[in-house]
Structure 1
Amino acid sequence: MNLTARLRPIFAALLLAASATSATVAAPAPTARLTFTADTPAAHPNFTVRVVGKGWPVLLIPGLTCPGAVWDETVAHYQKQYQCHIISLTGFGGVPAQASTDNMLLNVRDQLLAYIKTQKLTKPVVIGHSLGGFMALWMSSTQPEVVGPLVIVDSLPFIGAIQNPAATVEQVRPMAENMRRQVAAGQPNAAQQRQMAVTMVTDTARISQVTRWGVQSAPAAVAQAMYDMYTTDLRADLARIQQPVLVLGSWAAYQSMGATKESTKAIFTRQYAQLPRHQVEMSEAGRHFLMYDDTQWFFQLSDAFLKQNAVAGK
């Protein structure tokens, strides 16, 4: 059965990129790297970091199958005001995968928190797209004192409960196990990958870019990341997050499936109910990659939020 056919609209948007991946991983292009305090790849084997700009620190975490390059335009916009720490997870978008994917996202969470402390970053902003947004929430709810304001781009604290708000991790786990097996055993299929990318972004060049990243991703890493998100429920933990959070959501690509702006926002509102300081904003026209599809809206809201919260360190 096609897994995405079973999903509600926003659920599909979060995970569409994962259903057709290749075990062939291209070597990443060399990038400039600034050296900070005792920072070595060995200290965080589950991701790489590229640092650009000066100012208040901002961590940018990509979504499923995407490398840090997904944030290139965002970095160009912010690098004169903020010090951008651009994260690329191993196994995604051409970044070589780890031999083992055990506890993949838990390891990423802990290593990112350690990176913040090692680099002596004071209350960094975290901007996360999709999986990256989930990771930002997990980091902040685990150690609220370490992380600063959050910008969450089309992501939810528990994707397993989109169809059934009462769902628990144990109820979702069998489906997640089955999905992990199917995705891990997936064969390269660029045509299917592109077909799904069309539902997540509108620009033709961007569609091709997202397709390439998906094909260059390691199935085992994608499968484990999906499983980890399905079997981690952060909804109650959101109460621990005291910093302000901007949540940006999409819905328009799924209007033909019966989604409305109001019905989709209701999913976000319900899932973020335990978060003390947050605002939810829904794009009128953007698809899952809001920073690509609704760029002006994305920057307008993010700029205002960061101006109010980041520099002041609130």
Structure 2
Amino acid sequence: MKRNKKISTIIKLLLIIILVIGQYLYTSDQRGQTEENKETSAKDTDDPLMKVHFIDVGQADCILVENNNKYMLVDGGNNDDKDVILDYLNRLGVKEFEAIIMTHPHEDHIGSIDTVIREFKVKKIYAPKKEHTTKTYEDVLNAVIETGNTLNAPKSGEKFNFGAVTVTFLAPSRDYGNNLNNWSIGIKVSNGKHSFVMCGDAEKEAEEDMLATKLDLSADVLKLSHHGSDTSSTKEFVKAVNPKYAVISVGKGNTYGHPSKSTIKMLKNNKIKYFRTDEQGTIVMISDGDQLTCNVSPIP
């Protein structure tokens, strides 16, 4: 009887030891996984790899900024561009946006935004504090309301971050009345070493106001405003940005004569290499925080 009791006690002790060891191993494994997750999370936040996609949507603007599987969309092409934009976003595996920026309420910049808002989760939507009396603008407002989003009007100098990307708002800084182009939200997008400046259709007056803010406008890449029109990209503004490259989002054979000959001449005189969506299709520029590369070569 005593022997059986002794065996029973030994078995109980062994079971306790096994449970303690098992619990220790489980806790260590969980701790290891937690530390690994922290390291991965930190790595994702610090990874400077940024891709800027100037999507070819003809005579319109649609720009996607990507970092660590986080995305920001700047403008959304024309109404007829929704299939092109959705196909592009779906092929990249986009599920949600950290932010959507509607630079100004012209159709060639917000046309397909309503579709994008309905198809993807959006954390924040920015738009200038200027309404427009068009069906396109109404469609966007309805999509914003129906999805429970709100429009946020940024102030010049404000910033926000996603991943390793910093977005600084450059414009608008005042009331431009009925000149919708000058209401354009201007931004500087940076991943540390490289920066991109894009200002919708901002014209001379808005560019002068951005210069007056004394914000740092310098950047490696300038998305020419108003599709390369001679109403934008003034000598003083381009000098302040001092880009190595320029990107022109423009439609093939457009009736506006964009980009203007004077704009192209200005780029060549300043030795600024440039890209055109009408001749080269979608342009993807990639910065790893050290080097800046592109999927196509600049136009000679």
Do they fold alike, i.e. is TM over 0.5?
Answer: no
Query: Which has more radius of gyration?
Result: 2
Please classify the TM superposition score into its range, dividing by the shorter chain length: 0.3 to 0.5
Which structure's residues are more often helix, by fraction?
1
Higher strand share: 2
